[in-house]
Structure 1
Amino acid sequence: MYRERVLLLLLLVLASHVLWAQQHNFRSWTLEQGLPQSQVTAIEQTEDGFLWLATRDGLSRFDGVNFQTYTKQDGLKSHNIAALYEDSHQRLWIGTRDAGVLLYNGKSFQHLGAAQGLVPEQISSITEDPKGRLWLASDQGIYYLSQDRFLQYTSLPKLTFTALAHLPDGSLWAGTKNNGLYQVRGDKVTHFTTANSALPHNTITALHAGEGGNLWIGTAAGLAGKSPDGKLRKVPLPNNLQGPHITSFISDRHHNLWIGLQRKGLLKYNGKEFTHFTRQNGLRTPRIASLHTDKEGNLWIGTNGYGLQQYKAPWFVHYFNLGDIQEPRVTAISSSTANTLWLGTDEGDLATLKNGELHLQPTPPWPKGTTLYYIGTGQGNEKWVCSSDGAWLLKGGASLHYSTGQGMPSSEVFHCTTDSSGTTWFATANGVAYFKNGTIGQLPGPEVEDEKANCVYRDSRNRLWAGTQAGIYRIKNGRLVTPPTLEAASVKEVGSITEDSKGNLYFACFNQGVLVLTGDSARLFTLADGLPSESVKTLFADRYENLWVATSRNVLKVRLPPLRQRQQLLYRSYASQNGFRGMEVCDHAITQTADGSVWFGTAKGLTQYNPSLDRPNKKPPELLLSNVMLYSKPTDWESLGYHTDSATGLPENLRLPHTQNHLSFDFHAICYSGPEQVRYKYRLAGLEKQWSPETEQSFTTYSNLSPGTYTFELLAQNNDGYWTAEPLTYTFSIVPPIWRREWFVGVLLLIVAGAVLGVVRLRERSLVKMNSLLEMRVHHRTRLLERKNREKEMLLQEIHHRVKNNLQIVISMLNLQARYVDDDASLDVMRAIRSRVRSMSILHERLYRHSDLEEIDLEEYFLEICDSLYASYGVSAERVALEMELPRIKVNIDSAITLGLIVNELVSNTLKYAFPNDEKGLLRIELKQHDEVQYTLTVSDNGRGLPDDFNQIQHQSFGLKLVSSLSKKLGGHIKFYNQDGTKSILYFVLAP
């Protein structure tokens, strides 16, 4: 044991300081990928999203995947291009070294030279002033464009100028090849050289207008700057870069200045310090010729002899070498409060990283080849190293080893944690063990003791958890128990546990997903919830409310607030395409240092994530429709007679015959940050309403299209999930066959309409003749019916007349008989019979006199009955007044006779008994209609009223019995009331 302590002390004292290089995310394109030449002298991104590259063998247009090269065959005057610039009118200006300047308007190239006033042929710089005027730097002075002609700027001498810049104050700055720097402001010209200013060299290689009126000046021997006060100052560069030759400048959207060096790589200046990039950092060459930043924020680097490079995803920095160890597999990683990072590999290498310096331990205490699984913190400054050869306790200058010989259940110790009492718990291949008071003990398992444990974890409430092959357990009272909350989860192979700032726990369940325990509720997030992969290996909750999820394919940064509040998975995915080049993250190999950086131990080394530099790409892709084909074959549209757009090559106003209805579309979205991650959605309006599922395929085909007008609509998503706001559209038509053309259908309709009209006319003539004949027949039949109807009416009138005469004979006979009757009672009977017969006679007389033989006007009928009764009983209207209130209704003969007899009896009783001794009074007859069939007839007077023995009289009186019988005939009944006289109310029904 003493020997091991001495060895560890020597290890720490002799730990070597290893120089290591940070690897950044650079991607390269050379001739093998389609670049026409390896020297990229200028880069410019135009408004349509294309990246234009100037080389010494032509001009190339790049869309992130493919290069399209333009040469003399396409209209270029020279292949040797030095400068590119897009003006405010979206025109691309191309400066050459031996043929002046060319203008590309999106369709063709136009050469501008001596005919337009431009004498020099070597153009080195092109700019535009705040007023929109174009300026050229040439080997014969400065020129500017005025009304389609170039004029020489006479305020400056006729020298070889190399660079131009315009500042917001209106000043023009021009750098020369050997004569320093000129400033023109109004009419004042100032000349700066090494003799009268802080210029490092009189050869000005690049100028850049910075923010706030600053000017950056690149020379053949260093960097200078002009502050807003107009003074030049020399800018000191890193010590290892004294007097470098500067070739180019560019500013990114994060306010960093990038400086390209002729032979010494690339510099980034953030306003405080410089960062130097060389081959060791991922550059293919230190020979930088040009720089440019695209709309997505990526840096493009044109090199001298090594093609094109792109710098993206600056938030990831990689360490692929530990001294002489190439691409080590970093299997263990841990951070301490002293901001020291501990690293362990699968070959037993141990190192520490502090303040950017890596210290590799030359002779660690464990055997070479031991896999280090985890580095944990014990009490004080103790470090536990879990390995394939047991657990090692590094304490001070000594090391203690605990394996199966010391009571450890297995020599494979994967993970450990120390609780509040100082007890250290271990996850081993044969269960959970603990170290307390220098002794190793094993924890009994819930089923079998040798169950593999992958991790142990102590949460913020001092609860101990164990993730095993069989699931999740709590360590309570020296045993493993299954929490009731997690019994229904049924998860297996739990490899990692972490906790967020709110006390929620997260469990990595390999091939099942992520289990979230919030209070007493648990939920498993799977593919169905939006998790891109269920092969979850390691979890880590950082201090910025992110949950890092390492899967077998990538690393996810999941936002925790939406996950907690809405159970929603919102994440960014990191893989090799967007900067995470470490491949697979090792188990438990994620940690965070005090500066906020998140570190990953991977299969290719160590990767650092800087959250302050991570910004999503919110620029949607630029969409292009690259080809339209018939029957999935390349189509020469011009040979088919269609006019094509010179810029895109697509047919304009495409109208296809119905036999050519099989179309294919090739499309592309420009996304320089992650072209491999672009996704598309499309639909054919006029055929489809729903968008297609998301796809990475950049083509589609529609076959057997029916005649009609269609619009192909396309959307694209960039590498960070942002979709284009408006779809790209392309409209075309399938022309119907001749028998479905509008004009043909119109002519056919005219013919059919003419034929139909002719048939209709003939039919009309026939119908007119038939109608005339029918009218004659109807008129004849109508006259016959009218004659018969008149005969019928005359017959009916004659019948009523004869009935009336017969009744009059009966009345006369009754009158004769009454003369020989001396008994008053018999005389009253005779008089009653006579009045009843007279009421029927009156009805037949009315039918005889009127033309309407079917219905009787009741008011007139009742009035004649009353007049007859008044005359019969010798009662005048002055003594007994008569009031009638009847609606204007008519009834049939049977109902009229019945009602007439009832009225006759009731009025007779009133005239006979109501007003004795010639008393005066009032007789009232009222008829009310309650609905379509129900009526009430009221006969009332204000006479002496009903006698006391009325009920007996009612049963003996023939007249009252007759009234009751007649009431039933009408479907009703009659009631008598003694109220200030007599009131008789008949309730009856008249059928419609």
Structure 2
Amino acid sequence: MPNQNLHNLHHITHQAFICYFFLCSVVVLVAQPLQGIYPIQNFYPSDYKAGIQNIDFAQNRDMRLFVANNLCVLSFNGREWGRYNFKNGKKNRSLAFDEDHDRLYVGAQGDFGYFEGDWQYRSLAAAVPEPHAEFDEVWDVFLIGGKTYFCTFQGIYVYDGREIRVLDHEDGLERCFEVNNKLFAQTQKGVLFEVGSNGLNPVYGFEALGGVLTGMIAHEQGYLLFYNSGQMEYRTPMKMEQPYPTLEKALEGTYVNHVLQLSDRRMAIATQTAGLFLFNPQTQVLEHITVDAGLATNACLRSYQDYEGNLWVGLQNGIALIHINSPMRLIGKNIGLQGSGYEGYETNEGAYFTSSSGIYFLPKGAKKSRFLSGTEGPSYGISEVGGRLYAGHHRGLFLLENGQARQVAATDGIWGVKPLRSQPGYAIGGGYFGLYLFKIGPQQVLSLAHPLKGFNLSSRFFEEDREGRIWVSQYYKGLYRLSLSPDLTSVAATPISADSLELSGEQIALSEVEDELFLATSIGLYHLDPENARISATELFSEGPEQQPVYLVAQDQKNNIHLLCDNSVGFYEKVSQDNYQYQPSSLYQLRYHLNNDLLHASVHIRQGILFSANDGFVHYMPAAEDQPTVQQPIVARQVYSTSKDQELYALNPFAPAPGAPAEIQVGPGTKIIKFSIEAFQFSNLNDTKYRYILEGFDERFSPWTGTTSKEYTNLKPGTYTFRAQARSNLGATITSQPVQVTVTPPFYLSKVAQLLYLLLGIAALVTLFNLQRKRYQRKAHRLEQQQQLELRKEQQKLTQIEAEKQHAVDQLQREKVRTELQHVSNLLAASTMNLVVKNEFIDSIKQELQSLKENGRWAEAKQALERIVKEIDTNLKLQEDWEQFEFHFDKVHGDFLSRLQQAYPDLSPNEQKLCTLLRLNLNTKEIANLLSISQRGVEVARYRLRKKLDLEKGQNLSKFILEY
């Protein structure tokens, strides 16, 4: 990581600007009296803290400037310098910025490579093929067709992103030149080659050049060639000529280092000993900027035009920035004028200038003005009365003619004179202590008549309305309406109240625009209605700067109406009648250098308008005002935690500025956050002003300040949005992309902690609830145990009572059951006996029938049958006894027959009866009698029953029936 040291350019302040304000001389061969000089800024080694020699320049998309210094590579953002080197002590000679890969290619002594990222340097020297590894300075770097060309006297090293190919020539090489995206190289024997894909190709007609080339520019069908000897020529394959003898003569005897064609087709020619030449081939206007007027040195090594059109010049002992596209020119010491300027007036014979030192005259076509003897002391307004020029002076009034000044009135100071339209033949002058009446003589020469009585306030701003009333604004004492007496000896003064506008004690400057009277005040521009003595907001200008202090309003000869305000400077261009369009002005850059004592605008010049300055004048040409086409960015370069000594965010110096807002998250320990910004205001000659806001912390933007950083302390947790603003060279406000900063709370205040607190709270509540519940549960349990104990005691008592009761009931139940069983048994026994009797009865009938069959007679048989029928009828009733037997049997033996029938549905009724009798544990004989079968029949029936009951062999039938 290279060592970066940023240096705050505090020298670009009021004092620094004064150092260069008039430190440039320009010779214009097609001269005009008011041709001034370009604004120039000089940067010295003490400013950028590096070496003296600066050879080459480059610039990236965001307008950051890079400079090849002999000790390091410099970067410049419009206010601060950074320094970066290879740590190898080699001198840097050339630069080129590759926007496709965000790289800054560097050529140095015996080395070349590129910077990328956060100034990480990668040398490509190790990739050079071995036969060509030794080389000296890399004087030029060019980016053409996706390739990088490092140009040395030994060869051209071509880097395609992967490898390096070397193009050389047996005669050795001199400098290389890029023209119309083509690369040319000259051999040390003067032959010109074009660098092609297949090597060096000779250029037809350029085999023998007249010296060592230092510049090559496409021109018409050929090329303009510049030699280090100062010679130049125009050459095509067919001819050679000198098309610009003026330029050729100016360069004669100089040593040319570099030639650059500018965007407006002019040529910038840097020389070793004669400074810088600017030449326009179309108008053939030559401008010569030399050390005599303030360049740090005449040794101009190379020039570079940035995206805004400014011209940077690498010097042997510093860097110069020339604002060649500025619509402003500076007039002062360059023409020999000393002191603060007040007014300039251009005539056919030349231009007159009044200043704090006296009156100067610049003859037409002359390079220097001359001081007009006898005008020593402050001089003021110049005006024409009766076809003659007059200048107000600290000692009275001077007549200006034929390049001379003659005093025509000796009074206290006079600010200026104006003819009285209501009184032809007279003029009125505003003085330190009131007004003076002048009479126009036969030769149109003014002579002092007398002071006008009745008004003794300073009258620098005065105007006459259509009715002949005189209006005077005294800067801080208010507005007055003066009426001349019929004998023109005095005036009646009426103060005009402006209390409703809150102008009491505030500055008021009276001006005439479009034959209307206007007041420039500390609260804006107002219109004065002379008829009604009413002051109102002006409706003449429908657009323009917001309401703010207005210090000056003036109308030039092109009917442009110029306003100089507190935070804006511009002019209203007249589009049509009562229709004006506001244009911001580059004069905004110099508003702090305009005359802050007696601010004045001179409109009697052929081009533009002349503003009085602290040193001389600023000549502003609205027609040359070029609205910027390149956005001047303002970006947050770094966000730094001072408390933690930690970089939170940094802008990549080579990558384009981010299009989306940057987002930063900082912890609660970050007590102090410092934002640093870059504005890239190269065209702004003043110190650029900035203001800041941290939304969420600040309620409004901070006051304008010159510092490029802003600190914030003790930010509470939350999300904040940082924005910075700067003013452009036209006074427009430029806003940076926002930077969003989120300050996370300490852990104990974080959402996680809050969630934990919530969970802990819930846990605590749950625990408390559980503790209380357990407490109540224990209490309830104790009560319950006590109650249970008491209940058990009671229960025991009740149980005992119940047991006793149940015992009694059981006893009664047993008695009842025993009684019922006894009754059922009796019934069962009776049923059994009935069955036995029945069977015996049937057996007896059987025997009687058998006897009757054997021994009876019919009569006896008939009687016997009747008796048998009666006995059968009697015994039929006994069938009911079997059914009753079954009922009582099931009741005693638990539904034995029902269960038996359900388990063995195939049992016949007789088999069921056999089972009942076996259940009664009757023997075979008893069963045979009850069933009216033989004992053998009972045995057979038992056998069959065993089979239907699926009894195994050896399993006792009677036992099975008894246990079933």
- TM-score w.r.t. length of structure 2: 0.63
Residue type of the alignment partner of 1:600: F
Alpha-carbon deviation of 1:287?
A: 0.9
Alpha-carbon deviation of 1:42?
A: 0.8
Q: Of the candidates 147, 162, 167, which is equivalent to residue 133 of structure 1?
A: 147
- The within-5 A match list for 1:188-227 is 191=202, 201-207=210-216, 217-222=225-230, 224=232
Q: Could you tell me whether the CA contact under 8 Å between 1:507 and 1:516 is conserved in 2?
A: yes
Q: Of the candidates 701, 705, 710, which is equivalent to residue 711 of structure 2?
A: 701
Structure 2 vs 1, CA of residues 193 and 417 (structure 1 numbering), >3 Å: closer, same or farther?
farther
Structure with the greater relative contact order (CA < 8 A, sep ≥ 6): 1 or 2? 2
Q: Could you tell me whether the CA contact under 8 Å between 1:431 and 1:452 is conserved in 2?
A: yes
Instruction: Give the equivalent residue in structure 1 for 2:61.
Output: 47
1:334 equivalent to 2:345? Answer: yes
Q: Could you tell me whether the CA contact under 8 Å between 1:662 and 1:703 is conserved in 2?
A: yes
1:505 equivalent to 2:505? Answer: no
Q: Could you tell me whether the CA contact under 8 Å between 2:72 and 2:92 is conserved in 1?
A: yes
Structure 2 vs 1, CA of residues 437 and 261 (structure 1 numbering), >3 Å: closer, same or farther?
closer
Q: Could you tell me whether the CA contact under 8 Å between 2:57 and 2:65 is conserved in 1?
A: yes
Structure 2 vs 1, CA of residues 494 and 358 (structure 1 numbering), >3 Å: closer, same or farther?
farther
SS at match of 1:721: coil
Aligned identity (percent) is: 17
Instruction: Give the equivalent residue in structure 1 for 2:385.
Output: 378
Q: Of the candidates 660, 664, 676, which is equivalent to residue 674 of structure 2?
A: 664
Instruction: Give the equivalent residue in structure 1 for 2:619.
Output: 608
Structure 2 vs 1, CA of residues 291 and 585 (structure 1 numbering), >3 Å: closer, same or farther?
farther
Instruction: Give the equivalent residue in structure 1 for 2:413.
Output: 412
Aligned residues: 712
1:454 equivalent to 2:460? Answer: yes
Distance in 1 (CA, whole Å) between partners of 2:418 and 2:317 is 54
Q: Could you tell me whether the CA contact under 8 Å between 1:21 and 1:280 is conserved in 2?
A: no
- The within-5 A match list for 1:114-513 is 114-117=126-129, 119-121=133-135, 122-129=137-144, 131-153=145-167, 159-167=172-180, 171-184=182-195, 191=202, 201-207=210-216, 217-222=225-230, 224=232, 234=242, 236=244, 237=247, 239-270=249-280, 271-272=282-283, 273-311=285-323, 314-321=326-333, 327-336=338-347, 338=348, 340-358=350-368, 360=370, 363=373, 367=374, 369-380=376-387, 382-393=388-399, 402-403=408-409, 410-419=411-420, 421-436=424-439, 438=441, 440-442=448-450, 444-445=452-453, 448-457=454-463, 465-467=471-473, 471-473=479-481, 478=488, 480=491, 497-500=510-513, 502-507=514-519
Q: Could you tell me whether the CA contact under 8 Å between 1:224 and 1:232 is conserved in 2?
A: no
Residue type of the alignment partner of 1:385: A
Instruction: Give the equivalent residue in structure 1 for 2:604.
Output: 592
Residue type of the alignment partner of 1:415: G
Structure 2 vs 1, CA of residues 467 and 138 (structure 1 numbering), >3 Å: closer, same or farther?
same
Residue type of the alignment partner of 1:315: P
Provide Cα deviations, 1:62-96, integer angstroms capped at 9, x if missing partner.
222222212343xxx44311110012322110001
Provide Cα deviations, 1:328-378, integer angstroms capped at 9, x if missing partner.
344453233x37322234444442442455553664xxx463543333223
SS at match of 2:679: strand
Distance in 1 (CA, whole Å) between partners of 2:279 and 2:403 is 43
Provide Cα deviations, 1:739-766, integer angstroms capped at 9, x if missing partner.
7343872695399389769979x99xx9
Distance in 2 (CA, whole Å) between partners of 1:373 and 1:717 is 33
Distance in 1 (CA, whole Å) between partners of 2:161 and 2:696 is 48
Structure 2 vs 1, CA of residues 601 and 522 (structure 1 numbering), >3 Å: closer, same or farther?
same
Alpha-carbon deviation of 1:109?
A: 0.3
Q: Of the candidates 48, 65, 76, which is equivalent to residue 79 of structure 2?
A: 65
Distance in 1 (CA, whole Å) between partners of 2:253 and 2:402 is 48
Distance in 2 (CA, whole Å) between partners of 1:605 and 1:569 is 27
Instruction: Give the equivalent residue in structure 1 for 2:944.
Output: none
Residue type of the alignment partner of 2:431: T
Instruction: Give the equivalent residue in structure 2 for 1:542.
Output: 556
Q: Could you tell me whether the CA contact under 8 Å between 2:480 and 2:496 is conserved in 1?
A: no
Provide Cα deviations, 1:904-959, integer angstroms capped at 9, x if missing partner.
xxxxxxxxxxxxxxxxxxxxxxxxxxxxxxxxxxxxxxxxxxxxxxxxxxxxxxxx
Alpha-carbon deviation of 1:732?
A: 4.7
Instruction: Give the equivalent residue in structure 1 for 2:962.
Output: none
Alpha-carbon deviation of 1:113?
A: 1.3
Instruction: Give the equivalent residue in structure 2 for 1:749.
Output: 759
Distance in 1 (CA, whole Å) between partners of 2:248 and 2:604 is 30
Instruction: Give the equivalent residue in structure 2 for 1:673.
Output: 683
Instruction: Give the equivalent residue in structure 1 for 2:104.
Output: 92
Distance in 2 (CA, whole Å) between partners of 1:312 and 1:150 is 39
RMSD (Å), alpha carbons: 4.9
- Gap runs ≥5 in structure 1: 1-16, 405-409, 767-992
Q: Could you tell me whether the CA contact under 8 Å between 1:716 and 1:724 is conserved in 2?
A: yes
Deviates more, 1:747-756 or 1:96-105: 747-756
SS at match of 1:68: strand
Distance in 1 (CA, whole Å) between partners of 2:170 and 2:591 is 49
Alpha-carbon deviation of 1:718?
A: 2.7
Provide Cα deviations, 1:761-797, integer angstroms capped at 9, x if missing partner.
x99xx9xxxxxxxxxxxxxxxxxxxxxxxxxxxxxxx
Distance in 1 (CA, whole Å) between partners of 2:643 and 2:259 is 46
Provide Cα deviations, 1:712-748, integer angstroms capped at 9, x if missing partner.
4444443323444661425455254157343872695
Q: Could you tell me whether the CA contact under 8 Å between 1:165 and 1:209 is conserved in 2?
A: no
Alpha-carbon deviation of 1:507?
A: 4.1
Look at both structures and tell me which one has the larger radius of gyration over its CA atoms.
2
Residue type of the alignment partner of 1:293: Q
Q: Could you tell me whether the CA contact under 8 Å between 1:713 and 1:728 is conserved in 2?
A: yes
SS at match of 1:745: helix
Distance in 1 (CA, whole Å) between partners of 2:320 and 2:669 is 47
Instruction: Give the equivalent residue in structure 2 for 1:522.
Output: 535
Distance in 1 (CA, whole Å) between partners of 2:167 and 2:126 is 16
1:559 equivalent to 2:572? Answer: yes
- The within-5 A match list for 1:723-734 is 723-724=733-734, 727-729=737-739, 731-734=741-744
Provide Cα deviations, 1:622-641, integer angstroms capped at 9, x if missing partner.
344444444x457046xxxx
Q: Could you tell me whether the CA contact under 8 Å between 2:327 and 2:586 is conserved in 1?
A: no
SS at match of 1:32: helix
Alpha-carbon deviation of 1:289?
A: 0.8
Structure 2 vs 1, CA of residues 739 and 80 (structure 1 numbering), >3 Å: closer, same or farther?
closer
Alpha-carbon deviation of 1:292?
A: 1.6
Instruction: Give the equivalent residue in structure 1 for 2:90.
Output: 79
Provide Cα deviations, 1:592-625, integer angstroms capped at 9, x if missing partner.
312x132234442343223333335564443444
Structure 2 vs 1, CA of residues 397 and 703 (structure 1 numbering), >3 Å: closer, same or farther?
closer
Q: Could you tell me whether the CA contact under 8 Å between 2:362 and 2:370 is conserved in 1?
A: yes
1:112 equivalent to 2:124? Answer: yes
Distance in 1 (CA, whole Å) between partners of 2:369 and 2:715 is 69
Instruction: Give the equivalent residue in structure 1 for 2:956.
Output: none
Residue type of the alignment partner of 2:429: F
Distance in 2 (CA, whole Å) between partners of 1:562 and 1:432 is 38
Alpha-carbon deviation of 1:326?
A: 6.2
Residue type of the alignment partner of 2:85: T
Alpha-carbon deviation of 1:149?
A: 0.6
Structure 2 vs 1, CA of residues 80 and 132 (structure 1 numbering), >3 Å: closer, same or farther?
same
Distance in 2 (CA, whole Å) between partners of 1:159 and 1:30 is 36
Residue type of the alignment partner of 2:414: V
